[in-house]
Amino acid sequence: MRETAEFCLDSLARAGAEKSQAVYVKSRKHELNVETGKISLLRTSFSTNIRLTAIKDSRRGTVNLNLTDKTSIEEASKNALEITRASAQDSAYDISQKQPQAEFDNNIEKPALDTMYEKLDSFLSEAKRLYPYIMFENLIVDFSRRTEYLLNSNGVDFKSSGGIYNFVALFTAKDGKKTSSFNYSGVSLKNLDGKFLSRGSINTLLQQSSGQLDPKGINGKFTGDIIVTPDCLNDFLSFITDQSIGDGAIIAGTSVYKDKIDKKIASSKFTLHSKPVSDEIADGYHVTPDGFKAENQTIVDKGVLKTFLLGLYGSRKTGLKRAPNSGGCYIVDPGDTAFDDMVKSVKKGILLARVSGGEPNNNGDFSAVAKNSYYIENGEIKYPISETMISGNIQKMFMDIKDISKERVDFGNVIFPWILFPGLTVSGK
Amino acid sequence: MIEKDLDKYSKLFSLYTELRFQENKNTRIVFLNGNLIANEKNTAGGVSARVCKNDAWGFASNPQRSEEAVKSVIKTATENSTFLNLRLKRPKTALPCVSFSSENSHATTKSRKSQKEYVDFVKEIDSHIAGKYKDLKSRTVIMSTLDMEKSLITADGSRSYSMIPRTILVIVLSSEKDSKPVELYEVYGGPGQFEDVFDGNPQSHIFSEIEKLHGHLMKKSEGVFPDAGNRECILDADLAGILAHEAIGHTTEADLVRGGSVATNFMNKEAASPLITLIDFANSSFGKPCPVPIYIDDEGTRSQDTVIIEKGVLKSYLHNKETARHFKTAPTGNARAYQFSDEPIIRMRNTAILPGTSKLDDMIASIKDGYYLMKTGNGQADSTSEFMFGITLGYEIKDGKLGRAIKDTTISGIAFEVLKTVSMVSNEMKWSCGGMCGKKQLIPVGMGGPAIKCRVNIGGK
Q: Which A positions 52-111 lie with beta carbon below 8 A of chain B? A: 60-68, 79, 82-88, 90, 92
Question: What is the least distance, in Å, from the CA of A338 to any CA of chain B?
Answer: 32
Measured between beta carbons, which residues in chain B are less than 8 angstroms from residue A361? 181-183, 408
Whole-prediction pTM: 0.89
User: Does residue B261 have a pLDDT over 90?
Assistant: no
Of B77, B116, B138, nearest to A254 by CB-CB distance is: B138
CA of A367: which chain B residue's CA is closest? B410
What value does the mean pLDDT take over residues B337-357? 96
Of residues A389, A365, A421, the one with CA closest to residue A217: A389
Contacts of B410 (CB under 8 A, 6+ apart): A357, A358, A367, A368, A369, A389, A391, B388, B389, B390, B391, B458, B459
Cβ of B39 within 8 Å of Cβ of A61? The answer is: yes
Measured between beta carbons, which residues in chain A are less than 8 angstroms from residue B251? none
- Residue B228 CA to residue A428 CA, distance in Å, equals 10
Cβ of A361 within 8 Å of Cβ of B181? The answer is: yes
What value does the mean pLDDT take over residues A400-408? 98
Measured between beta carbons, which residues in chain A are less than 8 angstroms from residue B414? 387
What value does the mean pLDDT take over residues B135-144? 94
CA of B379: which chain A residue's CA is closest? A358
What value does the mean pLDDT take over residues B377-399? 89
Give the model confidence (pLDDT) of A197-221 as tens digits: 999 999 999 999 999 999 998 888 8
Of residues B303, B305, B304, B298, the one with CA closest to residue B336: B298
A11-20, A139-148, A162-171, A384-393 — which is least confidently predicted? A384-393
Q: Which of A4, A34, A41, A182 to mutate to test the interface with B (most CBs of B within 10 A)?
A: A41
Question: What is the least distance, in Å, from the CA of A336 to any CA of chain B?
Answer: 34
pLDDT category of residue A173 using cuts at 50, 70 and 90: very high
Whether the CB of A223 is below 8 Å from some CB of chain B: the reply is no
Measured between beta carbons, which residues in chain B are less than 8 angstroms from residue A83? 39-41, 115
A20-24, B129-133, B286-290 — which is least confidently predicted? B286-290
Question: What is the least distance, in Å, from the CA of A43 to any CA of chain B?
Answer: 4
- The answer to ipTM > 0.90 is no
Whether the CB of A27 is below 8 Å from some CB of chain B: the reply is no
Question: What is the least distance, in Å, from the CA of B63 to any CA of chain A?
Answer: 6
Beta-carbon contacts below 8 Å between A and B: 240
Residue type, A391: S
Q: Terminus-to-terminus CA distance in chain B, angstroms? A: 55
Whether the CB of A217 is below 8 Å from some CB of chain B: the reply is no
Give the model confidence (pLDDT) of A48-73 as tens digits: 999 999 999 999 999 999 999 999 99
CA of B385: which chain A residue's CA is closest? A181
Of B35, B182, B380, nearest to A356 by CB-CB distance is: B380
What value does the mean pLDDT take over residues B227-243? 91
User: Does residue B454 have a pLDDT over 70?
Assistant: yes
Measured between beta carbons, which residues in chain A are less than 8 angstroms from residue B412? 356, 369, 387, 389
pLDDT of residue A80: 93
Of A61, A362, A387, nearest to B457 by CB-CB distance is: A387
Whether the CB of A125 is below 8 Å from some CB of chain B: the reply is no
Give the model confidence (pLDDT) of B61-86 as tens digits: 999 999 999 999 999 999 999 999 99
pLDDT category of residue B200 using cuts at 50, 70 and 90: low
Among A69-78, A353-362, B31-40, B112-121, which range has the highest average pLDDT? A69-78
Cβ of B32 within 8 Å of Cβ of A47? The answer is: no
Measured between beta carbons, which residues in chain B are less than 8 angstroms from residue A61? 39-40, 115
Give the model confidence (pLDDT) of B181-199 as tens digits: 899 999 999 999 999 999 7
Measured between beta carbons, which residues in chain B are less than 8 angstroms from residue A172? 259-261, 383
Give the model confidence (pLDDT) of A115-147 as tens digits: 999 999 999 999 999 999 999 988 999 999 999
User: Does residue A179 have a pLDDT over 70?
Assistant: yes
CA of A222: which chain B residue's CA is closest? B461
Question: What is the least distance, in Å, from the CA of B307 to any CA of chain A?
Answer: 23
Whether the CB of A176 is below 8 Å from some CB of chain B: the reply is no
Whether the CB of A357 is below 8 Å from some CB of chain B: the reply is yes
What value does the mean pLDDT take over residues B210-230? 93
Helix (H, G, I), strand (E, B) or coil at B415: helix
pLDDT of residue B172: 96
Of B41, B63, B81, nearest to A48 by CB-CB distance is: B63
Cβ of A85 within 8 Å of Cβ of B414? The answer is: no
Whether the CB of A48 is below 8 Å from some CB of chain B: the reply is yes
Cβ of A179 within 8 Å of Cβ of B262? The answer is: yes
What value does the mean pLDDT take over residues B43-47? 94
Mean pLDDT, chain A, whole residue set? 95
Of A83, A88, A369, nearest to B388 by CB-CB distance is: A369
Question: What is the least distance, in Å, from the CA of A418 to any CA of chain B?
Answer: 24
Cβ of B261 within 8 Å of Cβ of A172? The answer is: yes
pLDDT of residue B111: 93
Cβ of A67 within 8 Å of Cβ of B388? The answer is: no
User: Does residue B202 have a pLDDT over 70?
Assistant: no
Whether the CB of A4 is below 8 Å from some CB of chain B: the reply is no
- Residue B73 CA to residue B67 CA, distance in Å, equals 10
Measured between beta carbons, which residues in chain B are less than 8 angstroms from residue A248? 32, 37
Cβ of A356 within 8 Å of Cβ of B388? The answer is: yes
Measured between beta carbons, which residues in chain B are less than 8 angstroms from residue A36? 255, 258-259
Measured between beta carbons, which residues in chain B are less than 8 angstroms from residue A87? 36, 39, 119
3-state secondary structure chain A: CHHHHHHHHHHHHHHCCCEEEEEEEEEEEEEEEEECCEEEEEEEEEEEEEEEEEEECCEEEEEEECCCCHHHHHHHHHHHHHHHHHCCCCCCCCCCCCCCCEEEECCCCCCCHHHHHHHHHHHHHHHHHHCCCEEEEEEEEEEEEEEEEEEECCCCEEEEEEEEEEEEEEEEEEECCEECCCEEEEEEECCCCCCHHHCCCHHHHHHHHHCCCCCECCCCEEEEEEEECHHHHHHHHHHHHHHHCEHHHHHHCCCCCCCCCCCECCCCCCCEEECCCCCCCCCCCCECCCCCECCCEEEEECCEECCCECCHHHHHHHCCCCCCCCCCCEEECCCCECHHHHHHCCCEEEEECEEEECCCCCCCEEEEEEECCEEEECCEEEEEECCCEEEEEHHHHHHCCCEEEEEEEECCCCEEEEEEEEEEEEECC
Cβ of B41 within 8 Å of Cβ of A356? The answer is: no
pLDDT category of residue A359 using cuts at 50, 70 and 90: confident
Q: Which of B22, B80, B217, B299 to mutate to test the interface with A (most CBs of A within 10 A)?
A: B80
Cβ of B459 within 8 Å of Cβ of A391? The answer is: yes
What value does the mean pLDDT take over residues A238-256? 93
- Residue B396 CA to residue B231 CA, distance in Å, equals 11
Of B255, B262, B388, nearest to A368 by CB-CB distance is: B388
Give the model confidence (pLDDT) of A295-320 as tens digits: 999 999 999 999 999 999 999 999 99
Give the model confidence (pLDDT) of B239-255 as tens digits: 999 999 988 999 999 99
Residue type, A6: E
- Residue A133 CA to residue A211 CA, distance in Å, equals 9
Of A40, A138, A247, nearest to B57 by CB-CB distance is: A40
Q: Which of B39, B121, B170, B322 to mutate to test the interface with A (most CBs of A within 10 A)?
A: B39
Measured between beta carbons, which residues in chain A are less than 8 angstroms from residue B457? 387, 389, 429
Length of chain B: 461
Are A212 and A174 spatial neighbours (Cβ–Cβ below 8 Å)? no
Whether the CB of A44 is below 8 Å from some CB of chain B: the reply is yes
Are A319 and A334 spatial neighbours (Cβ–Cβ below 8 Å)? no
User: Does residue B345 have a pLDDT over 90?
Assistant: yes
Question: What is the least distance, in Å, from the CA of B285 to any CA of chain A?
Answer: 30
A379-388, A390-399, B89-98 — which is least confidently predicted? B89-98
pLDDT of residue A414: 98
pLDDT category of residue B386 using cuts at 50, 70 and 90: confident
